[in-house]
Amino acid sequence: MSELITIKDLKVHYPIRSGFLNRVTDYVYAVDGVDFVIEKGQTYGLVGESGSGKSTTGKAIVGLEKITSGGIIYEGQDVTKASTRRKMQYNKDVQMIFQDSMSSLNPKRRVVDIIAEPLRNFDRLSDQEEKKRVKELLDIVGMPEDALYKYPHEFSGGQRQRIGVARAVASNPKLIVADEPVSALDLSVQAQVLNFMKRIQEEYGLSFLFISHDLGVVKHMCDNIAIMYKGRFVEIGTKQDIYTNPQHIYTKRLLSAIPQIDVKNRDAHKETRRLVEAEYINNQKNYYDETGRVYDLTSISPTHQVALKDGGKS
């Protein structure tokens, strides 16, 4: 395995302006010091509740949000600055699937133009070549050819999300930041879109940063997972680490919130939930400091890190 991208102590703070002079009076610490590595061909899961900073992290990586401090190393090069990104073809290599397909696809443009946009930006194709490529892309995501000349509003949510997937793959990227790509879809359609994403990953060997609030969805997609809370990581590890050996109370709470389908396990699940809630109420100070901030991460195995007070010693 080899590293594709390394995120170093990334911070994105949004200024809050107020008062008559509209001065900056405080900041929203949307992302407040996160470190992680995405390997080539792998899927990295980023999970946390609403407002924890997932989209901001994703947007900062693709260059849509200004980085307050920290850095991004891509293929061994520092691409924190926009000027280096342009030289590195970073903007071609790193694409995003947006959380909300309705507002991320331009309603005034036809599907052919939406999907071809990255091609027009980065590849010089003839009209014919371009059309051929867009048709291929539609085929990959299971959309009929007659979608070409339609507008986004003429599709269902699931179809629009697949158009978003097709656009993201168009430029043959190395990394796709997929921000809640299936959250707005019903279960059967979710599975379809996830399958397309997996197929594309296998075909092109690309990496995903897969953002979700749902540990249930992420389980089948991800190799490694970071659990995010209030702009910080509370725990990172392999899929195995997170699902079979969760350490942070926040991770445990997220896990116990996954609905249990199996009737046999319902009582046991209820009991686990009760224990987790009790631990949360009694031992909060081991997991969050006085201001509610998440502690720094400590390694508890070569793959597994947890945010614990004094590294878990006290």
Ligand X SMILES: Nc1ncnc2c1ncn2[C@@H]1O[C@H](COP(=O)(O)OP(=O)(O)OP(=O)(O)O)[C@@H](O)[C@H]1O
50 binds, among ligand X, Mg ion, none (CB under 5 to 8 A by kind): ligand X
118 binds, among ligand X, Mg ion, none (CB under 5 to 8 A by kind): none
Q: Return the number of the residue (98 or 287) whose C-beta is nearest ligand X.
A: 98
Q: Return the number of the residue (16 or 275) whose C-beta is nearest ligand X.
A: 16
Question: What does R_g of the chain's alpha carbons equal in angstroms?
Answer: 21
213 binds, among Mg ion, ligand X, none (CB under 5 to 8 A by kind): ligand X
Q: Return the number of the residue (36 or 98) whose C-beta is nearest Mg ion.
A: 98
Q: How far is the CB of 99 from ligand X (least distance, A)?
A: 6
Longest Cα pair distance anywhere in the chain, in angstroms?
Answer: 67
Strand order across the 175-179 sheet: 94-97, 175-179, 207-212, 43-48, 224-229, 232-238, 305-307, 297-299
52 binds, among Mg ion, ligand X, none (CB under 5 to 8 A by kind): ligand X
Q: How far is CA 78 from the centre of its chain?
A: 21
190 binds, among Mg ion, ligand X, none (CB under 5 to 8 A by kind): none
Q: Return the number of the residue (67 or 200) whose C-beta is nearest ligand X.
A: 67
- Tell me the torsion sign for CA atoms 283, 289, 290, 293: negative
Q: How far is the CB of 102 from ligand X (least distance, A)?
A: 15
55 binds Mg ion (CB under 5 A): yes
Q: How far is the CB of 56 from ligand X (least distance, A)?
A: 3
**Span near Mg ion by CB under 5 A; candidates 3-11, 23-31, 54-62, 148-156:** 54-62
Task: Tell me which residue of 185, 206, 197 sits closest to 99, measured CA to CA.
Answer: 185
Q: How far is the CB of 199 from ligand X (least distance, A)?
A: 26
Q: How far is the CB of 61 from ligand X (least distance, A)?
A: 12
Positions touching ligand X (CB under 6 A) are: 14, 28, 30, 48, 50-56, 99, 213
53 binds, among Mg ion, ligand X, none (CB under 5 to 8 A by kind): ligand X
56 binds Mg ion (CB under 5 A): no
30 binds, among ligand X, Mg ion, none (CB under 5 to 8 A by kind): ligand X
Alpha-carbon gap, residue 82 to 285, rounded angstroms:
40
Q: How far is the CB of 296 from ligand X (least distance, A)?
A: 20
Task: Tell me which residue of 206, 3, 40, 174 sits closest to 94, measured CA to CA.
Answer: 174
Residues that bind Mg ion (CB under 5 A): 55
